[in-house]
Amino acid sequence: MLWPVLGGGLAAAGAVLALQRLRRAAHRQRPMDARPRPVPPGLELLERQLRHVAALDDAEFLDLSLRALAAGLSAKHTIPPRILAVRAANRRTEVLLDEPAVHPPKGFRMTDDECGWVTDPDLDDTDLRNLAAEAAAPLPALVNIGMLNSDQLLIDVETAGLLTIDGPRSTELLNALALQLATSAWADHIDVIVTGGAPLSDAAAEGRIRRVSGIAAAIGELVATHRSVSRALHAVDQPHTLAARFSRHTGDGWIPTIVLTDETPTASQLETLQRLTADTGHGIGVIARGRNVGGWHLELQPDRKLTLAPLGLTLVADLLECDSAAALHELLDHTVQPAAIDDAPAPAPLSTDPSERTEPFAEPPFAVQVRVLGPIEVEGVPAPVTRRRAEELIVYLALHPEGVSDDKLKTILWRDRMPTVGTFNTTVTLARTSLGTDNTGEYHLPHYAGTGAYRLAKTVTTDLDRLSCRLLHAKKADPADAMTLLREGLELVRGSCSTPEAATNGPTASST
């Protein structure tokens, strides 16, 4: 049988692992008397093809070796050289550096040209797992672009900054890169902004992919991320995010935001993207169509030959054909069908702090409201918060506006066991991207390194705070105004007896 091109063995491995995670989650959530939906024959064939080409062992070894690298460099407390690319082969990972580095971390050896480190061939599986234990993923934006001889070559999009792609089969290469960013095993989490018609759904990504209307909207997101990460790096005196990940200032993981678009930026948009990504390693990266503008560029030929600038390498590209990408989207979507969530009502605008005098009542303005007086809801955000732990984090911070340390936050949210670094970083980043930014482009949940604590901005409030403000002001107001304030406060409470009419009718059976 002729197996279709499915993005390469590492990309296929990520998709298979995503399917397994989704099925485990669906199994836990399925009622006991319900049976799983059968996979349609066409999708079942695609899954068999996917599993046939998936390089699961290679993906696991790459993940463990990169985490071992992170653990070793963290122990050395030195600023590492920039990582230009990674070559992965059967039980071998080679890291290509931008300058000679004669002191490799534990578990690695120098390459012959001293501009690289390679995994120690004497390492067995137990040694590698011990070295990698509890380490966070150091290169979440790493993507495999194709085969260099018999090795798979990966580049870090955050290090590249702006990666342009040109050639007649660019869409198929973009599909393969999107699949990896959505599902790769060597990333704990990554914030991927997609514009255009990339077919992958976020079902595979578990919160990694966000869609925006176009490049202009994506640039706005990049500006906010670049400003926030740059401020955080300055606060901890680190030159770039790679160094910060290996320092003691782990914060919330320095997780990058990557824009992937199948649109071609206009000249002014390209100029803006070049300016934003000029100082690479500041939390952002872009993959877009376009000609070579003197930076990182992939020139793709019809025969799958791929030229990588500025490294001057020629590879055979790993592509994901459009029909296969659409079918893979359908397979992932079939595996999990998220429940429909009604659009949350927009919060009412407010104004200033409650007055100590009996002047008309006014509240501080806010953009996001966390509702806790009844079912938990987060209003005023771009999309519903679907991850339970991220929602819990938002609620806890909203109820503790003074902020908390990372240790306390971990203890509160994970009472039975401490989370891994990757799990904690992923949860914080999902909460941040779910809350979004205010009208000035600042995050409602700022980066930890920039503030020294996890706390929400003043643009976030709770219905409990709004109720408390009304109760305090009602004590000083005249009776008519007090009745209005108390009625407004009571309307903030949802559930049994949540309306004035229900309150006047006396307690119900459920409330007693």
Residue 318 CB burial class (10 angstroms; 0-12, 13-18, ≥19): buried
The beta strands (E) that lie in 420-491 are given as 460-462
Which residue has tokens 């049988």? 1
pLDDT of residue 202: 55
Given this model, what pLDDT does residue 279 score?
87
Question: According to the model, what pLDDT value does residue 358 have?
Answer: 58
Distance CA 435, CA 403 (A): 16
- The pTM assigned to this predicted structure is 0.80
Q: Which residue has the tokens 């049976």?
A: 35
394 in Cβ contact with 434 (< 8 Å)? yes
In this prediction, residue 77 carries a pLDDT of: 73
Cα dihedral sign, 25-26-29-30: negative
Query: Rg of the Cα trace of the chain?
Result: 25
- The one-digit pLDDT tens for each residue of the chain (512 residues) are 344 567 789 999 999 998 888 888 777 777 766 777 788 888 888 889 899 999 999 999 999 999 999 999 888 777 778 899 999 988 899 999 988 988 899 999 999 888 999 999 998 889 999 999 888 899 999 999 999 998 999 999 999 999 999 999 999 999 999 999 999 989 999 999 999 766 555 555 567 888 888 999 999 999 999 999 999 999 989 999 988 888 888 767 799 999 999 999 999 999 999 999 998 889 999 999 999 998 999 999 999 999 999 999 999 999 998 888 888 888 888 876 543 334 444 444 433 344 444 577 778 889 999 999 999 999 999 888 988 999 999 999 999 999 998 889 999 999 888 898 889 999 999 999 999 999 999 999 998 876 678 999 999 999 999 988 888 888 888 888 888 888 888 888 887 544 444 444 443 333 32
pLDDT at 284: 96
CA distance 151 to 299: 19
pLDDT value of residue 204: 57
Q: What is the pLDDT of residue 339?
A: 38
Instruction: Determine the residue type at 219.
Output: I
Give the whole-angstrom CA distance, residue 180 versus residue 174: 10
DSSP E strands: which ranges in 184-309? 191-195, 209-211, 257-261, 284-289, 296-300, 305-309
